[in-house]
Amino acid sequence: MATLNVLVAVCLAYVALLFGVAFMAERAALRGRVKWLRSPVVYTLSLSIYCTAWTFYGAVGYAARSGLEYLTIYIGPTLIMVGWWWVLRKMVRVGRAQRVTSIADLISSRYGKSTILAILVTTMAVAGTTPYIALQLQSVTLSFAAFAGTTEIAGVGNSRWTALWVAVGLTLFTILFGTRNLDANERHHGVVMAIALEAVVKLFALLAVGVFVVWGMSGGVGAMLEQIDASDIGSWQMQGGRWAGLIFLSAAAFLTLPRMFQVLVVENENEDHLRLASWAFPTYLMLMSLFVVPIAVVGLARLPQGANPDLFVLTVPLSQGQTGLAMLSFLGGFSSATSMVIVAAIALSTMVSNHIVMPIWLRVAYGGAKMSGDVRNLVLFSRRVAIAVVVLMGYIYYRFSGGGAALAAIGLVSFAGVAQFLPAMLGGLFWRGATRTGAIMGLITGFAVWTWSMLLPSFGTGEILSPQVFEAGPWGLGWLRPHALFGIDGLDPLVHAILWSMSLNTLVFVAVSLGSFPSPLERLQGAQFVDVFLHSARPQSWSGGVAQSEDLLIMAQRILGPIEAQALFRRAASKQGLVGYLPEPVPDFLNELERELSGSVGAATAHAMVGQIVGGASVSVKDLMAVADETAQMMEYSSQLEIKSEELTRTARQLREANEKLTALSVQKDAFLSQISHELRTPMTSIRAFSEILRDTDGLRSAEKAKYASIIHDEAVRLTRLLDDLLDLSVLESGQVNMNMRRGTLKDILDHAMAAAGGGKALPVQRNRENEHIGLWTDLDRLAQVFINLIANAQKYCDASQPELRILVKPGQAGGIDVDFVDNGSGIPHDRQEMVFEKFARVSDQGAGGAGLGLAICREIMVRLGGRITYLPGQGGGAFRVSLPGEALTTSA
C-alpha cells in the first residue's frame, strides 16, 4: 500500500508540474516571447498526441495478440508525414489562409460555409471521439489498479473513483488552459507546451522499459531476436487485406481525427515547421514502436497465463521488483492518456460552440448581431460547458461499457468513424467539382455503413444486434448482414467495414457532386481551397453601404473586444485614406473582417453575422463571372477590372461626399455672419430695453431696479463670454497662440475639470482613477478646457432618463493615450457626426444656451497640443475620444 501512496504523490506532483509548465508558457506568451514556445520541435512533439494510451499500453497487447499488425497504426501516419508535400502542406496553408478553427470548420467553409455540414461533422466527431476518451480513462484506471495489486480489475469499487477524479482533473486543466481567452487564432500556448512535455515523458518511459527488457532481462539484441523467434508470435503471419486496410485507415484517421487536426493545422504557427516534423515525427513513431515486440514477447514468456497483455508495459517491470521503472512507465501512460483527452476536448468544444451553440444563438436572437453585450463571454462559456460535457460523456461511456473490451478494438472503431471525413475533405482540397450536397450525402452514407457494420457489432453479438441479424440480416434481408453486406462473405469484419464504408462514401460523394450544382459561394470557396497556392486572396463576395459600418463595428467590438476591433477598423479606414473609425464597407474590408471574426467563431457563423448586417445578397453577378472564368489569366484580368471599377465608384462617392461637405461648409460660412449677428444682438436687446426702462420709467421699486440692473449685468457677461470664445477660436485657428506647457497628472486635470463643470451633481460620472495616474507635459489649462467642455456637453445634451457619463483611459496609438467620454444618451446621428466640430454646429434644434463654439474650440486646442478629438461611433451613446500623443506623456507621474 505504501507504493500506492507514493504513486499517488508522484502523480499529483507530476500534475502540478504540468500546470506549472502550462502556466509559465502562457505567461511567456503574454510577454510576447512566442518564438521559443513555437519552435518546430515543440510542434513536432505536440503531434505525438497521436500516441495515446492506446499506443502506450495497447500496442504491446496488440502485438501479443496479432504480431506485427500493430505497426500499421504507425506506418500510416509515417507515410502521410513523409508525403507532407502533397496533402498536409495544402491543409495547413488552407487552414491558415481561411483561419480554420477545426475540421468541421474546414469542411463547412469549403462547401459554401454550410451550417448543416458543420453540425453534421461536429456530431460525428463527438460520436467518434467519445469511446476514445472512455478508452483513456479506462487505461489510467487499469494501470492504477495494476499498481494497487488487485487482479480483479473490473470489480474494484475504487476504479470508478479513480476514473472520475481523472476526468474532473482533466476537465479543470482543459478549461483553465484551453479556454483562457478567445484567441483570434485558437492557439493555446500553455496546452501545447504541456503536451510537448508529456510527449517527452512518454517516449522516455517506453524506451526505458524497452531498454530494461532487452538488455536487463534478455541479455542483449541477439538473444532478444532469438527469443522473439521462439515465442508464440514467432513467425510472420499477416492477412494482406488487414495490413493494407489498417495502414490506409490509420493514414486517414491521422488527417481527420479532430485532435490531430487541432495540433496539425490549427495550432500550427508556421508552415515551415512541417519540414522538421516530416522526418522527426516518423522517427518518434518508430522509436515508440521499437520495443513493443520485445516487451510483448518477454511478457508472454515471463508472466503467468491470463495476465492482461495490455498492461505488460507496467506489469513486466513490476514483476521484476523495478518499482521505480514501473512508476516511470505509469507516468508515461498517464501522459499519453491525459494529453489526448485535453486536446480532444479542446477540439470538440471549439466545434460544438462554433457550429452548434453559435448558430442556435444567432437563430434565436435573430438580428441580434447588432445587440449590445459581449458575445465573447457566451462563446467562452459554451466552450467550458462543452469541455465538461465531452469528458463527462467519455466517463459515462466508460462506466456503461464496463471497461472490458480490448483496448485496440475501441480505437479502431473510432478511427474508422472519423475516417469518414476523408473523402469530403480531400475532395474539397483537390477537386473543384465537389459540392455541398455530395459531401453531405457521402458523409451520411459512410457514417451509416460504419454504424451498421462496425459500431453496433462492436458492442458484441446479442448486445444491440441479435445473433439472427448477423446470421440472416435484418428482417431476413440477407444482403444487409453487418459482416457480409451485399452478400460478399468471408472478408475480415474490419476490412469489410472499412472497404464498404469508405468506398460507398466516396462513390456517393463523387456521384452526387457530379449530379448537383454548386452554389456560387461554394464555387468561390472551392477555387480558394483548390488553388490556394495560386491566389490566397479571399473571394470578393460582399457589397454594402456606408451606414452599415457602424453596425459592423458594434458587432466586431463584441467578438474581438473593443480595442482590437477599433484598431482593425481604424487601420482599414486609414488604408482607404479616411480618418476615423468607419471605413467604407468595400468587399476587401468585409472579407478581412469576416476572416478575423471566423478566427473566433468559425467561418459559417462569421459569415452569417456579417450577412445579417450587410444584407443577404452575398454573391453578385460579378462574382459569378469571376468564377466562370476558369483560366488564371482571365481571373487576373477580370479582378483588375473589378478593382478599377470599384475604385472609380469609391472615388466618385468620396468626391460627392467632399462636395457635399464643401457645400455644407459654405452654407455654414454664409450663416456664420448671420449667426454672430444673432448671438450678439440677442443679449444687446435685453440690455438696451432694460436700460431704457431704468432711464425712462419713474417710480420703479428698488427691488425692480435691482432686478433689471442684474439682468443687464448678466447679459453683458454673456456678451463678453461670447466675444472671448470668438477671439479664442480665431487666435487658435490662426495659430498665433503660445501653449503654456507644464507638468501635471491626468487625474488632477480631470478632477479640476469635473469641479469646474459643477462636479458630479448634475450628471453622475464614472471614472477609474487607478488608470489616471499618468504624468503629462502639456498645456494643462487648455486640456482642462477641453475636458470641461465635454463634461458640460454631456450635462446639456445627454437625454437618457438616468444620464451618466463614463470617462475611460486607454492606451492609444503610437504610445499615446486615449481619454474617452461616453454617455448613455442617444448619441449623435451618423449624418451629423462630421459636423459637430464645426463652428455654430448644434446637433439639436433646442438652443441649450451654448453658441455652438465649444467643440470647435476643443478641436483647435487638441490640434495645437499635437493630439486630436474624434467622435467615437458605436458606443451606445454620445462618445468623444480625446487622443494625446506619446510626446505629451512623461514618466514621472
Which residues of this chain interact with other proteins, rule CB under 8 A?
67-68, 71, 75, 78-83, 85-86, 93, 96-97, 225-226, 228-229, 231, 233-238, 240, 243-244, 247, 270-272, 275-276, 278-279, 282-283, 286, 290, 293, 533, 535-537, 674, 677-678, 681-682, 684-690, 692-693, 696-697, 711, 715, 845-847
- The C-alpha cell at 802 is 438616468
Dihedral sign computed on CA atoms, order 618, 621, 626, 627: positive
Comparing CB distances to other proteins, the nearer of 354 and 540 is 540
CB of 302 to other proteins, least distance (A): 18
- The C-alpha cell at 510 is 463523387
C-beta of residue 265 within 8 angstroms of C-beta of residue 95:
yes
CB of 469 to other proteins, least distance (A): 33
SS3 of 744, please?
Answer: strand
CB of 820 to other proteins, least distance (A): 31
> Which residues are within 8 A (CB) of 95 and not within 5 positions of it... i.e. 6 or more apart?
106, 265, 266, 268
- The C-alpha cell at 658 is 467632399
CB of 361 to other proteins, least distance (A): 33
Q: Give the number of other CB atoms < 10 A from CB of residue 695.
A: 7
Burial class (CB in 10 A: 0-12, 13-18, 19+), 762: middle
Strands 805-811 and 765-767: parallel
> What CA–CA distance (Å, rounded) separates 750 from 776?
12
Comparing CB distances to other proteins, the nearer of 20 and 234 is 234
Comparing CB distances to other proteins, the nearer of 364 and 673 is 673
CB of 485 to other proteins, least distance (A): 25
Amino acid present at 140:
V
Burial class (CB in 10 A: 0-12, 13-18, 19+), 148: middle
> What CA–CA distance (Å, rounded) separates 854 from 841?
10
Backbone angle region of 450, left / alpha / beta, with phi > 0 → left and psi within -120 to 50 → alpha: alpha
In DSSP terms, which residues pair with 243 in a beta bridge? Answer: none
Comparing CB distances to other proteins, the nearer of 10 and 244 is 244
Comparing CB distances to other proteins, the nearer of 285 and 342 is 285
End-to-end Cα separation, the chain, in angstroms: 62
Phi and psi torsions of 817, nearest 5°: -125, 155
C-beta of residue 140 within 8 angstroms of C-beta of residue 334:
yes
SS3 of 537, please?
Answer: coil
Comparing CB distances to other proteins, the nearer of 645 and 677 is 677
> What CA–CA distance (Å, rounded) separates 415 from 253?
5
Burial class (CB in 10 A: 0-12, 13-18, 19+), 626: buried
- The C-alpha cell at 385 is 460547458
Comparing CB distances to other proteins, the nearer of 247 and 484 is 247
CB of 663 to other proteins, least distance (A): 19
CB of 76 to other proteins, least distance (A): 10
> What CA–CA distance (Å, rounded) separates 512 from 510?
6
Comparing CB distances to other proteins, the nearer of 151 and 677 is 677
What separation in angstroms does the CA of 868 have from each of 283, 716, 864?
Answer: 59, 33, 9
Comparing CB distances to other proteins, the nearer of 75 and 597 is 75
DSSP for 100-157, please give it. --SHHHHHHHHTTS-HHHHHHHHHHHHHHHHHHHHHHHHHHHHHHHHHHT-S--TT-H
Residue of 706, 704, 702 whose CA lies nearest to 714: 706
In DSSP terms, which residues pair with 744 in a beta bridge? Answer: 776
Residue of 595, 585, 597 whose CA lies nearest to 557: 597
- The C-alpha cell at 453 is 457494420
CB of 425 to other proteins, least distance (A): 18
> What CA–CA distance (Å, rounded) separates 138 from 133?
9
CB of 448 to other proteins, least distance (A): 30
Comparing CB distances to other proteins, the nearer of 74 and 447 is 74
Comparing CB distances to other proteins, the nearer of 283 and 768 is 283
SS3 of 75, please?
Answer: helix
CB of 684 to other proteins, least distance (A): 5
SS3 of 92, please?
Answer: helix
SS3 of 281, please?
Answer: helix
Strands 805-811 and 817-823: antiparallel
DSSP for 745-773, please give it. EHHHHHHHHHHHTTTTTSS-EEE-GGGG-
CB of 229 to other proteins, least distance (A): 5
Comparing CB distances to other proteins, the nearer of 234 and 615 is 234
CB of 707 to other proteins, least distance (A): 9
CB of 281 to other proteins, least distance (A): 9
CB of 282 to other proteins, least distance (A): 5
Comparing CB distances to other proteins, the nearer of 689 and 762 is 689
C-beta of residue 418 within 8 angstroms of C-beta of residue 256:
yes
Comparing CB distances to other proteins, the nearer of 4 and 290 is 290
Comparing CB distances to other proteins, the nearer of 209 and 609 is 209
CB of 173 to other proteins, least distance (A): 32
Dihedral sign computed on CA atoms, order 459, 461, 467, 473: positive
CB of 643 to other proteins, least distance (A): 16
Comparing CB distances to other proteins, the nearer of 271 and 471 is 271
Comparing CB distances to other proteins, the nearer of 83 and 577 is 83
CB of 43 to other proteins, least distance (A): 13
> What CA–CA distance (Å, rounded) separates 561 from 181?
11
> Which residues are within 8 A (CB) of 822 and not within 5 positions of it... i.e. 6 or more apart?
805, 806, 807, 808, 872, 875, 876, 877, 878, 879
Backbone angle region of 341, left / alpha / beta, with phi > 0 → left and psi within -120 to 50 → alpha: alpha
CB of 185 to other proteins, least distance (A): 13
